[in-house]
Amino acid sequence: MARGTRDWRRSPVGEPALARGVLIGVVLLFLALFLLLPLVAVFAEAFRLGPAAWIAAVTEPDALAALRLTLLVAVIAVPLNLVFGVAAAWAIAKFEFRGKAVLITLIDLPFSVSPVISGLVYVLLFGGGGLLGPWLKGHGIEILFAVPGIVLATLFVTLPFVARELIPLMQDQGTADEEAALSLGASGWHTFRTVTLPNIRWGLLYGVLLCNARAMGEFGAVSVVSGHIRGLTNTVPLHVEILYNEYNFPAAFAVASLLAVLALVTLVLKTALEARLGHGTPSRAGP
Amino acid sequence: MTTPMPSRRLAVTLIAGLLMMPGARADDTLLNVSYDPTREFYKDFNAAFVEHWTAEGGAPVTIRMSHGGSGKQARSVIDGLDADVVTLAISVDIDRIAQATGKIPADWLDRLPDASAPYTSTIVFLVRKGNPKDINDWDDLLREDVQVVTPNPKTSGGARWNYLAAWIFAEDAYQGDEARVRDFMARLYRNVPVLDTGARGSTITFTQRGIGDVLLAWENEAFLSRQKMGEDQFDIVVPSVSVLAEPPVTVVTGNTERKGTTALATTYLEYLYSETGQSLAARHFYRPAHPDLVDPAELARFPRVTRVRIADRFGSWAEAQATHFADGGVFDQITAAGR
């Protein structure tokens, strides 16, 4: 051991026990007050009328339709962003080309734009007075106020998640492994499958997880393009708002608790993945 | 075992529900794009109509609803929301759809009886129980210790009725002296802490978040929040004068002709004028256009109030809209002066 264990209490981070206690106490209190308490309140309100009322609220036809739509949107948006994210990160991390900085900035765009704008963009494009709207309508294609519009808006806001997670990871790893594989005669696809993919798999899963959470939870952009037709174009977050506005608080919180469960599952998986990522990145030897 | 295991029943229902993807049904569907406070009424009315329609030998039909601020809903229909019928708060919102899309003929107001308004309403005050601030009429809203909750007239239909009702009171009080009327309005809006975008948003602000001393509300919305939140929490105060609010309904002919639902949509709206439609409107605190069709007991709870028709005072809704709520109009002028 280079550092003596005797001195660690006096090191700059080793404040006296009292200060440490106060700091930790403040943080815990803050978390309990602003994170835990609201979360508990959601579940308390959701089950206020008992489990039967909760079941009735989440199995009501409009709630099921909202759940179905949210799952459908995630099932379409997440794989598409997975493919796009890997392709973009691969291009950016492993190759040098003109306009790379522009590409990275473009990928970040949905992060910096307000979700309402993301929705309005599609209204301008596909709306009745929009650029493509009248032509599409004439050909019987429904985009806005229908499922395709909701999928598009969700794709837009979730676009950066996978790519953003993979770019730094792949840049860190460099191109040495791939070069070795290629020089040993492996094909491009073979190299990707057996060398690159195993190296990035935890980061990729992490990105997919965040992407999925956002796809299912998105409110702003989807609200603009949805049209709020009950049982048809309402996603789970929109349905929660509707129930709340109808004074149906127990049902609103019951459906909201589904979203809270999704958040908790995401959190647990994320923590597990972070642990794997922390130790797992250097495991270049493969599985 | 009297009850099945909840978790298993839940799982079965969830999976069954998720597997039944929509689209397989060949039912006719009708989309009714409406404003905020009609949610409860149309829920009941739709069920009654479907029963009536199938009993008369019609094919099974599904009625879908979309609710929001009246102005916002009109905007969505203009942007392409495929409404078969619109049931909005104000005729100008339907005029806008007619002008922007041509999907509704310009003379739509005359297509149905009673200027296409099967039910009417008015604006009343909702105050906290016992009326602690002693609010009885419009001029009480100007007192320094009173906070008024009303939505934004730019986005909400209800808010425009609120505004015009106050204007009518001030105009009567000051014998039409416009400078004093404007001052009255400016002082009123200075007492408004939040302008929500829709009527329902304002109701939630007042009843749930506990902001303000008085909510300017649709009569039906005021009755409904008393019913939902407990009669021991709020009182309704009827001002000396208010507006005759006529929320109109019409068929979006351009859409129904393309979808082949014109007959269905027309029957749907006509059913609003039937005994069932009028009774349901009364039950949901709308004043029926034909009270003779409704059980007098249902009508007894509507307080007597002097209701002024917009056309009699402002010429027409289109004129009131242009003068007061257009960009740079009177509302913009008085709120800018108040800052």
- CA-atom Rg of chain A in angstroms: 24
Question: Residue B248: what pLDDT?
Answer: 96
Comparing C-alpha atoms, which of B312, B88, B78, B126 is closest to residue B223? B126
Residues whose CB falls within 8 Å of the CB of residue A56, separated by 6 or more in sequence, listed in order = none
Distance (Å) from the alpha carbon of B292 to chain A's nearest alpha carbon: 30
- Asked if A64's CB is within 8 angstroms of B21's CB, the reply is no
**Cβ of B237: how many Cβ atoms within 10 Å?**
18
Q: Name which of B76, B84, B196, B285 to mutate to probe chain A: the one with the most chain A Cβ atoms within 10 A of its Cβ.
A: B76
Round to whole Å and give the CA distance between B235 and B226.
8
Please determine, for residue A107, whether its predicted confidence score (pLDDT) is greater than 60: yes
What would the mean pLDDT of A272-280 be, rounded to a whole number? 71
What would the mean pLDDT of A2-7 be, rounded to a whole number? 48
What would the mean pLDDT of A137-162 be, rounded to a whole number? 91
Distance (Å) from the alpha carbon of A78 to chain B's nearest alpha carbon: 19
Question: Residue A276: what pLDDT?
Answer: 77
Q: CA angle, corner A237, sides to A236 and A238, nearest 5?
A: 90
Round to whole Å and give the CA distance between B189 and B253.
39
Comparing C-alpha atoms, which of B241, B223, B216, B244 is closest to residue B305? B241
Q: Name which of B3, B7, B81, B84 to mutate to probe chain A: the one with the most chain A Cβ atoms within 10 A of its Cβ.
A: B81
Q: pLDDT digits over B139-164, tens only?
A: 999 999 999 999 999 878 889 999 99
Identify the three-state secondary structure at position B126: strand
Residues whose CB falls within 8 Å of the CB of residue A120, separated by 6 or more in sequence, listed in order = A224
The answer to whether A71 and A151 are in contact (CB under 8 A) is no
Q: CA angle, corner A237, sides to A234 and A238, nearest 5?
A: 40
Comparing C-alpha atoms, which of A136, A132, A116, A135 is closest to residue A124? A132
Interface list for B 142-201 with A (CB within 8 A): 200-201
- Asked if B36's CB is within 8 angstroms of A123's CB, the reply is no
List Cα–Cα distances, A262 to A48, A270, B223, B332, in angstroms: 20, 12, 38, 45
Q: Which helix (H) or strand (E) holds A37?
A: helix A37-46
For chain B, which residues score pLDDT lower than 50? 1-5, 19-26
Determine contact: B227 vs chain A, CB below 8 A: no
**Which residues does chain A have within 8 Å of residue B81's beta carbon, measured at their own beta carbons?**
144-145, 227
Question: Residue B287: what pLDDT?
Answer: 95
Identify the residue whose tokens are 């210790």: B145
Please determine, for residue A266, whether its predicted confidence score (pLDDT) is greater than 60: yes
Helix A51-58 × helix B6-19 angle, to 10° = 10
List Cα–Cα distances, A180 to A184, A191, A244, A287, B114, in angstroms: 6, 9, 59, 18, 83
Comparing C-alpha atoms, which of A85, A232, A218, A80 is closest to residue A154? A218
Residue B214 pairs in a beta bridge with B127, B148
Question: Residue A2: what pLDDT?
Answer: 46
**Which residues does chain B have within 8 Å of residue A61's beta carbon, measured at their own beta carbons?**
17
Question: Residue A175: what pLDDT?
Answer: 85
ipTM exceeds 0.90, yes or no: no
Q: Report how far apart the first and last C-alpha atoms of chain A are (Å, whole number).
A: 32
Distance (Å) from the alpha carbon of A273 to chain B's nearest alpha carbon: 28
Comparing C-alpha atoms, which of B161, B199, B246 is closest to residue B35? B199
Q: Report DSSP letters for A162-210, one per residue.
A: HHHHHHHHHHHH-SHHHHHHHHTT--HHHHIIIIIHHHHHHHHHHHHHH
Q: Name which of A69, A121, A247 to mutate to probe chain B: the one with the most chain B Cβ atoms within 10 A of its Cβ.
A: A247
- Asked if B67's CB is within 8 angstroms of A58's CB, the reply is no
Please determine, for residue A226, whether its predicted confidence score (pLDDT) is greater than 50: yes
Dihedral of the alpha carbons of A32, A34, A37, A43, in degrees to the nearest 10: -130
Q: Write out the two tokens for A142.
A: 């429904």
Among chain A residues, CA nearest to B40: A246
Residue B121 pairs in a beta bridge with B245
Interface list for B 56-95 with A (CB within 8 A): 64-68, 76, 78-82
Q: Name which of B5, B66, B75 to mutate to probe chain A: the one with the most chain A Cβ atoms within 10 A of its Cβ.
A: B66
**Residue A14 φ/ψ, nearest 5 degrees:** -90, 70
pLDDT band at A13 (very low <50, low <70, confident <90, very high): low
Please determine, for residue A73, whether its predicted confidence score (pLDDT) is greater than 80: yes
Q: Name which of A234, A243, A246, A255 to mutate to probe chain B: the one with the most chain B Cβ atoms within 10 A of its Cβ.
A: A246
Helix B91-101 × helix B70-78 angle, to 10° = 10
Length of chain B: 339
The mean of the pLDDT values for chain A is: 86
- Asked if B79's CB is within 8 angstroms of A130's CB, the reply is yes
Identify the residue whose tokens are 């009177």: B330
Of A128, A144, A247, which is closest to B228 when you measure between CB atoms? A247
Q: pLDDT digits over B6-54, tens only?
A: 556 655 555 555 544 444 344 689 999 999 889 999 999 999 999 999 9
Determine contact: B14 vs chain A, CB below 8 A: yes
Round to whole Å and give the CA distance between B281 and A184.
80
**Which residues does chain A have within 8 Å of residue B79's beta carbon, measured at their own beta carbons?**
123, 127-130, 133, 144-145
Of A144, A227, A245, which is closest to B66 when you measure between CB atoms? A227
Round to whole Å and give the CA distance between A7 and A224.
59
**Which strands sit side by side in the sheet containing B249-251, from one edge to the other?**
B61-68, B28-35, B85-87, B249-251
The answer to whether B263 and B85 are in contact (CB under 8 A) is no
**Which residues does chain B have within 8 Å of residue A51's beta carbon, measured at their own beta carbons?**
6
Distance (Å) from the alpha carbon of B66 to chain A's nearest alpha carbon: 5
Q: What is the pTM of this model?
A: 0.80
Q: Write out the two tokens for B67.
A: 């609710």
Q: Which CATH superfamily is domain A53-276 in?
A: MetI-like (1.10.3720.10)
Among chain A residues, CA nearest to B10: A55
Identify the residue whose tokens are 């069932």: B276
What would the mean pLDDT of A192-204 be, rounded to a whole number? 89
Q: Where are the domains of chain A?
A: 53-276
**Cβ of A31: how many Cβ atoms within 10 Å?**
11
Among chain A residues, CA nearest to B226: A247
- Asked if A145's CB is within 8 angstroms of B81's CB, the reply is yes
CA atoms within 13 A on the CB side of A127: 19
DSSP assignment letter at B108 = G
- Asked if A145's CB is within 8 angstroms of B76's CB, the reply is yes
Of the listed ranges A146-155, A200-209, B91-100, B192-201, the one predicted with least confidence = B192-201
Q: Which domains does chain B have, with CATH numbers?
A: 29-117+247-273 (3.40.190.10), 121-245+304-337 (3.40.190.10)
